[in-house]
Amino acid sequence: MLREFKLPDVGEGLTEADIVAWHVKPGEAVEDGQIIVEIETAKAVVELPCPWDGTVARLLAEEGQTVEVGVPIIAVEVGAPDSAERAPAPALAPAEGTAPAESTTPAESVPDDEAGAHSVLVGYGVKTSATTRRARRTAAGRPETAEVPTAPEVPVEPVELATQPRAAGPGVPAARALAKPPVRKLAKDLGISLAELAGSGPDGSITRDDVHRAAATDTGVRSAESGNGSRTVSPATAAGGEERIPIRGVRKHMAAAMVSSAFTAPHVTEFLQVDVTETMSALRRVRELPEFAELRVSPLLFVARALLVAVARHPLINSSWDAAAEEIVVKHYVNLGIAVAAERGLIVPNIKRADALPLPELARSLQALTETGRAGKATPADLAGGTITITNVGVFGVDAGTPILTPGETAILAFGQVKDTPWVVDGQLAVRKACTLSLSFDHRIVDGDLGSAVLRDIGSMLEDPVRILAWG
Q: Report the pLDDT value the prediction gives residue 190, as an integer from 0 to 100.
A: 75
**Chain segment 14-60, per-residue pLDDT in tens:** 788 889 899 999 999 999 989 999 888 766 778 899 999 999 999 99
pLDDT tens per residue across span 90-131: 444 444 444 444 444 443 444 444 434 343 444 434 434 343
What is the percent of the chain where pLDDT is above 90? 49
Question: Long-range CB contacts (< 8 A, 24+ apart) of 209-213?
Answer: 210/183, 211/183, 211/186, 211/187, 212/186, 212/238
Per-residue pLDDT, averaged over 431-446, amounts to 97
Residue 134 buriedness (CB in 10 A; 0-12 / 13-18 / 19+):
exposed
pLDDT of residue 11: 66
Please provide the average confidence, as pLDDT, over all residues in the chain: 78
Q: Is 190 exposed, middle or buried (0-12, 13-18, 19+ CB in 10 A)?
A: buried
Task: Look at the pTM and tell me if it is higher than 0.85.
Answer: no
By annotation, the residues acting in catalysis are 443
Strand partners, 40: 18, 45
- Judge whether residue 83 has pLDDT over 70: no
Highest-pLDDT range among 53-67, 227-241, 442-456: 442-456
Q: Tell me, what's the pLDDT at 157?
A: 41
379 Cβ neighbours under 8 A, 6+ residues apart: 44, 46
Q: Are 52 and 80 in contact (CB under 8 A)?
A: no
* Residues 319-377: tens digit of each pLDDT: 999 999 999 999 999 999 999 988 778 889 999 999 999 999 999 999 999 999 888 78
Nearest of 404, 378, 407 to residue 391 by alpha carbon? 404
According to DSSP H, which parts of 53-98 are helical?
80-86
